Structure 1
Amino acid sequence: MPRFSVIVPAYKVQAYLHTCLSSVLEQSFTDLELIAVDDCSPDACGTIIDEFATRDPRVRPVHLNENGGLGRARNAGMERATGDYLIFLDGDDELTPHALRAIAGRLAATEDPDILVYDHARTFWSGETVRDVRAAQLTEEGKQPFRLDDRPGLLKIRTVGWNKAYRREFIEREGFTFPSGHCPDTAWTYPVLMASETIATLDRVCVHNRQRRQGSMPGAESRARLDIFDQYDRLFTYLDDHPELAHWRPALFRRMVGHLSAVFRGPGKLSHDDRPEFLIKSRAHYGRYHVPGGVPAPSREWLRHLLVRLGSHRAYRTLWVADRVRRGTAALGTALFRGVRAAALRLHYWVQRLLPVRADRAVFSSHGGREYGCNPGALEDAFRAHAPGIRTAWIAAPEHHHTVPTPTRKLRPDTAAYWTALARSRYLVGNVPFDRRLVKRRRQIMVQTQHGTPLTHMGLDLREHPATARDTDFAELLRGADQWDYCLSGNRHSTLVWERAFPSDYTTLEFGSPRNDVFQRATSVDVARLRETLGIPEGKIAVLYAPAHRAYRRSQRSTLDLERVLRRLGPRFVLLTRAHHAYGPPLTPQSAGRLIDVSEHPSIETLCLASDVLVTDYSSLMFDYAGLDRPIVIHADDWETYEAAHGTYIDLHTFPPGAVARNEDELIDIFATGHWQGSRSAQLRAAFRERFCPYDDGRAAERVVRHVVLGETAGLPTVVPLDERHPVPSAADSPPRSLGSSSTEDPVTLLLASVSSSGVSLPTVDGF
């Protein structure tokens, strides 16, 4: 008995069926049967199914003698299914990589519920992929599993059969089958959800739902849309037969009204001749199934209810026009207000530029108004420590204000206070260009901190790589560089790159990377506390996995099968995944407690301190991590492609920071053999560290402040030689020590508190 029976009906999808069936058979979870149903398709679907069946014994072909529609084809597949769970997939859609593994893991974690609801994304012919806007309903927090009464928001999820896994025993016990007709999912989804005793959710995209490029609806298919009324008749008949579910009537009535209005208003869904009949039937269904509580309070949905209730398109259009006029008037008022406000701010900025520059003011920004952190965060902390006469301010959106230290003034972008600070502050410190409307004054000093040592091409060098450069305005880029007074550099390599890629008349300060100062000042106790707050079990080896973004991929999902890697490495290892915002690796219970997603963690320095080894491909994090003198492993499975698309300054195969793997198996072998921490890896890391971390001795920020603010050119803190530096060791190299009771505080707060007496600066950063 397989775990899954994947049922794929096929009718006129010959162009997509290969991809669909392959997406099932190539899953990393292999305990499945694929029941492919040829719904008497007039094209080559039946032949394609038979070809797959001859190549893979898991494929069970079914050929129907006549076309019966989607519901009948699915029912034919269910009759032959033997798996624990039923999964439906349309013939032009596809499963995402490792989807079945994630589903299987979630089912095990929630003790085999009747239904597991998972997410999907729409894929358009243009190549765009858009996740469902109702994904928030699939949160895995709270009670698991649950009943629909506990999470009624699930009714807002699309009423389709292919975004759920169904326990076959439950479906057979309740006697559920798909109805006939054009819209069988409506009369299937709601009864199944209401009848189930246990439901669970999986917050992961498991299906790519193809959106075909097509014109208006042909007449025959438009007529088929009228089947929706029969489907709602079946749904409310089911409620009549199950009086214990009567409390769902108001909600289902609202869903019906929304569905009917969406079909009527949707472009190309109904032909012109069918629209009057559709409205007449809609009005009849409104009167037939209306119940107290079924009409929502006045909101943006009131017009939809009037459309269905009145059954008059003319009245609907009249009310729609009136509502549009009302909204247009409000929008015009808002636009006028914004225009007046913008003009007032421009005037305010102009007036402020006429006033003297304040020598005791400094304003900082990181990544255009994000969290407090990166090099600007380290310098802001150093300003307060070494130039206490300077009053500092931090530019950040309101949702990031909680990350800014209490003594630092918080500035919201595009406010009067923001423009005052930009106009009158002596020091402007940031790691990306400031507001392009900024006019730098003669007495102002701008410090460009950058945000890491460059591996890929930057600045003007991107002109040779249009896929990465995209819409870069190189004239604006040079105008911004012309405003710099100082540009920070962590090493000679960075100095040469910055001065070539951003040619202008600034002074390069080759003093080191301020954000890495904490690596030399934190203690083993700090590391142990950070690991505890991240949930890393004592005695485990924590691997930080931080892949880089690739401009040439539409999908940014990692090519590594993280579950397989963890299984092969064994129980000694824990994996911290620092994914790009578009990655989202699955967290499944086979590795519960060992696969920790830290993609949203605000401080990359914290994660570096807590880990024992870094695994990356082309992230510039490797240059910072080398300052910790901890093992680094490179997973370069597409180096040639990456180099061609992005351009690189360094060949990682020739000059790596540690062991290099060309594929997943080699990566596993590097850890299995201990090569990741062997003598050869240590030699490579030492050479890499000598080249790229010559000044990262814990006092880089102090050197910058003393030179830029205090005007010191001689007597700056002497750089500590590499062999005399002692970065905090990893937990694997430190003896265990008691930490007392566990804390639920933020790890950054903990570390700041624990090392404040020694003057440690711990900025947060999300800039890799």
Structure 2
Amino acid sequence: MPQLSVIVYGPNAQGHLTELLDSLEAHPLSDAEVVVAAVGDWARETAEAHAPDTVVVPLPDGTTDAAARAAGAARATGRWLHFVHAKDGLPAGAPRLIAERAAELDDSVDVLLLDHLTTTWQAAARPSRDGRFLAAVGRAALPLDEAVDLLRLTPLLGNRALRREFWAAHEERLTTDDEPRAARAALLCAGRVACLNQVAYENRELRPESLPPLAPEDRFELVERYESLMPLARDRRAPRVVLYDLMMRDLVRTFAGENLPDEVAREFFRRASLAAVRWRPERHEHPAGVEGVRHALLEEGAYTKYRAFQAANRARRAARKAVRARKRQVGAKLREQQYRRALSRPVDADLAVFAAYWERGVACNPAAIAAKLAELAPHIHPVWVVSKDNTALLPPGTDHVVPGTRRYWEVLATAKYLVNNVNFPNAVVKRPDAIHLQTHHGTPLKRMGLDQIEHPAAAKGLDFDALLARIDRWDYSVSANSHSTRMWERAYPARYTSLDHGYPRNDVFYTSGADTVRAARARLGIAPGKTAVLYAPTHRDYEAGFTPRLDLAELADRLGEDTVLLVRAHYFYGGATSPLTGLRRSGRLIDVSSYDPVEELCLAADALVTDYSSIMFDYANLDRPIVVYADDWETYRTTRGVYFDLMTDHPGQVARTQEELTEIFRSGAWRDETAAKARTAFRRRFCEYDDGRAAERVVRRVFLGEPEDALPPVLPIEDRTPAPTPEEATA
């Protein structure tokens, strides 16, 4: 019996079945089977072209989705079933992720929930908002009543796998052409549910104009959906409340958003009102504000009052919108006039504007350059662009401006030097006498700039014409290695000069001594003799925020009392009942998510665990062990795009599962000869120009105008001495 049956069902809508089956064939999995319930001749012919690896169940044109799912399930032999519509897709490696997670679950678990992407006919790969709900549950298998927010997940059958015996027991209830109804019914019928907080499904929304039109009366099916679901939660307070809230939200939105004929609208309102009253939980309170008024009017069945309330709201919104638009127009015009007047003033040769990470504060390469500038050219005055929320975090005495203010536009207009590790706003004008220095903020593994055109999930609607206009303002581009130089030239094609000088922020890895390393560890509370492992995963464009990809409590337990985990991320396992609470109190886990600068964390750590973050290129300067945890490499590579194969050109050991990661540390492989050889090759390639004098070279070249051949030469890598390791620092 295979662990998983992937059941593809439906017609070959707009040819998408072809690419779906091609992707499955390109990543075969021994513990999964593919069953295609092919509706119509085109789907059958497409599926048969992938035989014998694909089991084909031919079905006549017009077979409903529900009937096709049932036919596919009847031929499936897997322990778990994953229903995939023929129009949709599966990210590379998704069946493997599902099968591996399913293999961990016993037969008390009936439903496995997954994260997903949504693509449309207009754009590709929009991440879902489901990640936070999946992350809240983590790896536990729970009854729905203990994780009721899972009812709020996007109601797709594709973002959940069902245990085959569970499907057989509830097939009649789950066999419906109303997919959201079937998806939520599966949760309400399940004994226990589990989660896989990784993207394992692509929901493709077809253009509505390409589909058969809905009749106005079809909207009644929404009421019928909830009339069939609510009885499943009748005696379960928590699921009933959440389901009722979802019902009211959907009923109100449909009534407000659909331009229904009056006769149909009245009937929809009547049915919705009856459902709202019939299923309202005891002591249930209306939401606050306008939404609460809508709910009350719906329950009252007051159609005429609701329409009047709706008309009044529309009038108020239109009036407020007009006032806001007018204020924006006046404000924008005033700012533009101020900026234009400032542009007529002479350029101030002793003024430099610095910014980093979208106005976050004093950080990264700009901060290192500013520090060296104060040493070598103190006559040049630095002004930092910092958002209002971050001004309180600035070092004392930092001269700064807040975006949008009058002085902000004045300094941008008159400064000779503009330094940023991202880009200045589109409205900034490049003056002939001004110098724009782009420092970047990492070595590129993932695709950047124009190379994102082929990866819309990463681009997220990026205006490439505006991007080209921004890079045309650059005079200089800082690079840490030849790889970066070549990739910047490809991703950001313009006439700037590449400064192959190294990353200024990495100078600290060569200029710091034992006292600096000891002080960094003391500030973090790392006890002497402990091994500190910095865990710093990157952001996924296809996930909603950061969620831990490791069971940190288990990892800490397996690594033992002498290991401290430094976890750098946005948040993790919140709440007083977290299994990590005790680890934090014992000092075995330290949350360094908001700790700056990150270079200090690197100095304090004995080893780095990361996935695809550019921190690996910086940390390699220290010549300390690096372990890559690449549990979703295929998905990341496909959705984000990469410049090289990290599984081949890695900086040490590579783990694909948590068990492998644990074994790498327990066995000592994290710092063995194989890891050291891989790190040496990685350092030669990606730490090419970093030797501790990058900031000096940049300041002398850009701000002091010294010629290239007069700059301090880059030391050969074998002649460099990185900061001492924590072990060396305490010897």
- Alignment TM-score, normalising by the size of structure 2: 0.66
- Measure the CA separation in 2 of the matches of 1:220 and 1:450: 50
Cα distance, 1:131–1:402 mapped onto 2, change above 3 Å: farther
Aligned twin of 1:662: none
Match of 2:288 among 297, 320, 343: 297
CA contact (8 A) 2:7 2:76 kept: no
Q: Secondary structure at the match of 2:85?
A: coil
Report what 2:125 is aligned to. 129
Q: What corresponds to 2:420 in structure 1? A: 430
Residue 760 of structure 1 aligns with which residue? none
Corresponding residue for residue 234 of structure 1: 228
CA offset digits 1:106-162 (Å, max 9, x no partner): 873999744332222222234522222444322246793444444443232223333
What residue in structure 2 maps to residue 762 of structure 1?
A: none
1:87 to 74, 82, 87: 82
Contact 2:430 2:473 survives alignment (8 Å): no
1:651 aligns with none
Could you tell me which of 381, 402, 405 is aligned with 1:415? 405
Alignment of 1:704-715 (within 5 A): 704-705=698-699
SS in 1 for 2:329: helix
Return 5+ residue gaps in structure 1 as ranges: 556-561, 563-570, 580-597, 649-655, 660-670, 739-768
CA distance in structure 2 between the aligned counterparts of 1:657 and 1:6, rounded to whole angstroms: 34
**Aligned position for 1:376:** 366
Q: Structure 1 counterpart of 2:244, which letter?
A: F
Q: 1:611 to 1:52 in 2, by over 3 A?
A: farther
- Residues 310 and 418 (structure 1), Cα distance of their counterparts in 2 relative to 1, 3 Å cut: same
Q: Which residue of 2 aligns with 1:10?
A: 9
Query: Matched residues in 1 for 2:276 and 2:720: separation?
Result: 77
Question: Which residue is equivalent to 2:661?
Answer: none
SS class of match (1:89): strand
Structure 2 residue aligned with 1:756:
none
Considering only aligned residues, what root-mean-square deviation do their CA atoms show, in Å? 6.7
Pairing 1:240-251 to 2, within 5 Å after superposition: 240=234, 242=235, 245-246=236-237, 248-251=239-242
What secondary structure is seen at the aligned counterpart in 2 of 1:120? Answer: strand
| Contact 2:70/2:175 (8 A) holds in 1 | no
* Residue aligning to 1:200: 194
Q: CA separation of 1:719/1:60 partners in 2, compared to 1, >3 Å: closer, same or farther?
A: closer
- Alignment length, in residue pairs? 667
**Correspondent of 2:250 among 247, 259, 281:** 259
The CA deviation at 1:183 is: 1.9
Cα distance, 1:524–1:297 mapped onto 2, change above 3 Å: same
Question: How far did residue 249 of structure 1 move?
Answer: 3.9
- Label 1:713 to 1:322 Cα distance change in 2 as closer, same or farther (>3 A): same
How many angstroms does 1:490 deviate by? 7.1
The 8 Å contact of residues 487 and 509 in structure 1, kept in 2 or not, is answered as yes
Superposed displacement of residue 330, structure 1: 1.2
| Superposition deviation, residue 346 in structure 1 | 3.8
> In structure 2, how many angstroms separate the alpha carbons of the residues matched to 1:206 and 1:458?
24
Query: For residues 546 and 602 of structure 1, what CA distance do their matches in structure 2 show?
Result: 16
Aligned equivalents of 2:651, 2:8: Cα separation in 1 = 50
Partner secondary structure for residue 339 of structure 1: helix
Q: Distance in 1 between matches of 2:525 and 2:26?
A: 34
Match of 2:512 among 511, 514, 522: 522
Q: Which residue number in structure 2 is paired with residue 727 of structure 1?
A: 722
Aligned-pair CA distance for 1:70 = 0.9
Cα separation, partners in 2 of 1:95 and 1:718, compared to 1, 3 Å? closer
- How far has the Cα of 1:199 moved from its partner? 3.5
CA distance in 1, matches of 2:247, 2:218: 17
What is the CA deviation profile of residues 656-692 of structure 1, one whole-angstrom value per residue up to 9, with x for unaligned ones?
9999xxxxxxxxxxx99978855x996x8898699x5
Instruction: Report the counterpart of residue 312 of structure 2 in structure 1.
Output: 322
The equivalent residue for 2:667 is none
Q: Give the 3-state SS of the residue equivalent to 1:369 in structure 2.
A: coil
Q: Residue 335 of structure 2 corresponds to which residue in structure 1?
A: 345
Matches within 5 A, 1:139-538: 139-140=135-136, 144-167=140-163, 177-179=172-174, 181-183=176-178, 185-186=180-181, 189-190=184-185, 192-193=187-188, 196=190, 198-215=192-209, 218=212, 226-240=220-234, 242=235, 245-246=236-237, 248-263=239-254, 277-291=267-281, 292-293=283-284, 295-300=286-291, 302-303=293-294, 306=297, 310=301, 312=303, 318-349=308-339, 362-366=352-356, 368-370=358-360, 372-385=362-375, 392-398=382-388, 404-423=394-413, 427-431=417-421, 434-435=424-425, 437-438=427-428, 449=439, 471-472=464-465, 476=469, 480-481=473-474, 513-523=503-513
Residue 216 and residue 646 in structure 1: after superposition, are their counterparts in 2 closer, same or farther (change >3 A)? Answer: closer
Q: Describe the SS at the equivalent of 2:173.
A: coil
Q: Where does residue 595 of structure 1 map in the other structure? A: none
Per-residue deviation at 1:702?
3.9
Alpha carbons of structure 1 residues 10 and 474: separation in structure 2 relative to 1, 3 Å: closer
Superposed counterparts of 1:44-63, under 5 Å: 45=43, 54-55=52-53, 59=55, 61=57
Of 147-156 and 430-439, deviating more is 430-439
Give distance in 2, aligned partners of 1:334 and 1:402. 29
Query: Aligned to 1:77, which of 59, 73, 83?
Result: 73
Give the 3-state SS of the residue equivalent to 1:93 in structure 2. Answer: coil
Deviation at 1:548, TM superposition (A): 14
Uncovered stretches (5+) of structure 2, i.e. residues with no partner? 544-549, 551-558, 560-565, 570-591, 653-669
Does the CA contact (< 8 Å) of 1:29 and 1:98 recur in 2?
no
Cα distance between partner residues in 2 of 1:110 and 1:607: 40
Q: What's 2:692 paired with? A: 698
Q: What secondary structure sits across from 1:178 in the alignment?
A: helix
The answer on whether the counterparts of 2:350 and 2:416 sit within 8 Å (CA) in structure 1 is: yes
For residues 106 and 514 of structure 2, the distance between their equivalents in structure 1, rounded to whole angstroms, comes to 38
Asked whether the equivalents of residues 699 and 717 of structure 1 are also in contact (C-alpha less than 8 Å), the reply is no
